[in-house]
A and B are shown apart, each in its own frame.
Chain A
Amino acid sequence: MAALYMTNQLITIIYDSQFLKHDTGGGEHPEVAERMQVIENQLRNGALASSLLYEQPQPADRRWLLTFHTEAWLFRFEEATLSGRTYIGHPDNQIGFETYDIALLSAGAGLKGIDLLEQDSAKLVFCTVRPPGHHAEPNVPLGFCFLNNCAIAARYWQQKYKRRKICVFDFDAHHGNGIQAAFEEDAETLYISIHEHPSFSYPGTGFSEEEGTGDGKGTILNIPLLPGAGDEQVIASLESEVEEKLAWFQPDAIIIAAGFDAHRLDDMSGLNYSTDLYHLLGLKIAGWTKKYTEGRLLSILEGGYHLKALPESVEAYLSGLLAEL
């Protein structure tokens, strides 16, 4: 049952302690359960604590997974986890016995958030989830990602609530190749990504020349930044090409692929963002939401691996959203 929206609780966090059970094997794997815990601690004990409401996700129904993924991949994924394998395809993609079920919950968080927004039971929704999703391809896991949470949420919003034009804005340090794959031939979705230049960064895609194809030509905007780039370059891009593209597209709803690994303390990229930049991103995004989507904004966690910078950046981002909306 959807929680009632309370005026002093403006941010709905969708989270489940099950996310802690996705086992990435220890060692040097950066996508660890502690990421959830540090965000939880920061939000529950920080300045935003009184503004938060918590909701639990439901596992995403298979029909929504199939809006992006193939049956073959879903079977392979489930079978791999149940058979006790430790990774799929590449050691980056570590799995445990419960990973498949947890990935369903992770994908389901966005759908729950959309329901709450559409029922006016939430104003701002942030999904604190793992595993992340934006590298996942229709039938291949990549870069710690198994199910493409943002792409699935976009299709859900379009099909269940008839919000035709969906923009996914991705500020993770890495290009969301899976989201681009979902949208690049589609005129009714827009994917904007600001990321470290693919000549220097995983997954090696996201060149500015990739603009979409066929009916989707012009609906992909990749903004690659050279290693070392920081707040100044991001702000300049937001105020020029990003805002121009949004004005052209006129989205009905916005989904944020919220990755925080471009922070200067996070060694998963060579980018140099400050914590304050995430506050500014929140302000900007809230402004776009007011201008174009009547508040329809969903944020889903992607990357962010530095266990001090991550929670502070999430809090800064949410405070930016809150200040403007």
Chain B
Amino acid sequence: MFIHYYMTPSPVTIQAHMYIAEARDLLGHKHFRHLPVVDNDGRLQGMITDRDLRSADPSTVLNADERQRILDRVQKTKVKAIMSTDYLSLKTVSTLDDALLLFEKKPVGALPVLDSAGKVVGIFSLDDLTRAYRSLFGLGEKGSVLIAIENQTDSPSLSRLVQVLEEHNVLFTRLVCSDGKGKEPAMIYLRINTCNIPAVHRAVEKAGFIVHVPMSASQGQPPA
């Protein structure tokens, strides 16, 4: 659950006294969108994004000569002039939950990751967050399948369920519960590793659990 395992380590950085033209080259060539601005010791000073660069571009309604003249000036402007200094950041010990809450707080695409001295040691993007949760939930894991069991919301039911699976030698790698307080009904989701799903259904049903089948299934439509 620590972002340390999912971040991009040692990201490309830039310094505040460098020119916007250099920032543009870095982002253009490396195909990413976020550039931490650091001092000589690698400590974070600000962030610059491809959006900041686009905002610095001269307006397209200007004539070509005027546009080129302003563009030349922008290119010779230092990064410090356009970098954002009210950035959010993560620490190496931050969790995926921390990252998710920060992304919810501010609409940014990536967060710098700092060590205890404030030095940039990584960058963690929304894509990294998606990949991390994909991996944790086992999405696309070959040989697995998710089954849903109605959650009777008492903890003994979970331990009983695990016991049934162990008794029947059913391998499973994930167990996630929804409590029914939101729009999602109370459910236990199990990622099991077997092709013989009917045998698993029979075992858990025999133990008193109800296997959930999507409600609109007969229509072939997404569950309501």
Contacts and interface: CB of A to CB of B under 8 A. Distances in A.
A226 interface: yes
Given A91-B169, A142-B143, A203 B214 contact: no
Contacts of B222: 226
A143 interface: yes
Most buried by B among A203, A207, A230: A203
Contacts of B218: 228, 272
**Chief secondary structure at chain B's binding surface:** loop
Nearest to B214: A227
B27 to A, nearest CB: 25
Given A29-B196, A202-B197, A267-B198, A207 B140 contact: yes
Interface residues of B, number: 30
Most buried by A among B140, B144, B213, B221: B140
A55 to B, nearest CB: 29
A144 interface: yes
Contacts of B194: 90-92, 202
B143 A30 contact: no
A267 B205 CA distance: 15
A177 B198 contact: no
Contacts of B197: 201-202, 268
Interface in A148-182: 174, 177
Interface string A252-291: 0000000000000001101010000000000000000000
**Chief secondary structure at chain A's binding surface:** loop
A203 B213 contact: no
Interface of A: 28-30, 90-92, 135, 137, 142-144, 174, 177, 198-205, 207, 225-230, 232-233, 267-268, 270, 272
Interface of B: 138-146, 169, 171, 191, 193-199, 201-202, 213-214, 216-222
- Pairs of residues from A and B, 9 with the lowest C-beta to C-beta distance, nearest first: A228-B217, A229-B220, A143-B195, A267-B198, A204-B144, A28-B199, A227-B217, A202-B145, A228-B218
